[in-house]
Amino acid sequence: MSTTPVPPALPVTFRPGHTRVILLTAGVAIFLTISGVAMLLEQLGPAERASFVVTGALIFWVLARLARVKVVADESGVTVVNIAGSRRLEWAEIVQVNLRPGDPWVFLNLSDGTSLPALGIQPGLAKQRAIADAQALRALAEARAAAHPVEGDG
């Protein structure tokens, strides 16, 4: 009997749901608080008030960037969206999907010998979900590798 999980239907998006909600909620709350303080402090001039609002907006932007992380798998490959950017991978490029105990997120070992962090699957607030997501992505990668072996292997 095989212990390999059945791969999920494609397309599928993996993202840290609880973390995303917390970051976006905190971003809105911080922006509104800083902007509200700027409007309530009568001794501030227009430029100072604007600097408060800009600071609140910058904090919100940073938290929104942190909240945008995800891993999207479809028929042709995987798109990893991290804080600073995104990268598109073909299934054949993914050699292994790793989430070891203590890892902050999944790491994808790639055919070029490098490793790519996939922040969209992270065990921070939902460890069991992250483990299940990592297993699902691993099952997808293994199923695609078996269906489309890399040319030149052998």
Q: How confident is the model at residue 25 (pLDDT cuts 50, 70, 90)?
A: very high
Q: How far apart are CA 77 and CA 54, in angstroms?
A: 39
Taking only the tens place, the pLDDT of each residue in 55-109 is: 999 999 999 999 999 999 999 999 999 999 999 999 999 999 999 999 999 999 9
Task: Give the whole-angstrom CA distance, residue 96 versus residue 137.
Answer: 10
Greatest C-alpha distance within the chain: 75
pLDDT confidence of residue 3: 58
Render the burial of 101-139: b for 16+ CB within 10 Å, e for the rest.
eeeebbbbebeeeeebbbbbbbbeeeeebbeebbebbbb
pTM of this structure: 0.83
144 exposed, middle or buried (CB, 10 Å; 0-12, 13-18, 19+)?
Answer: buried
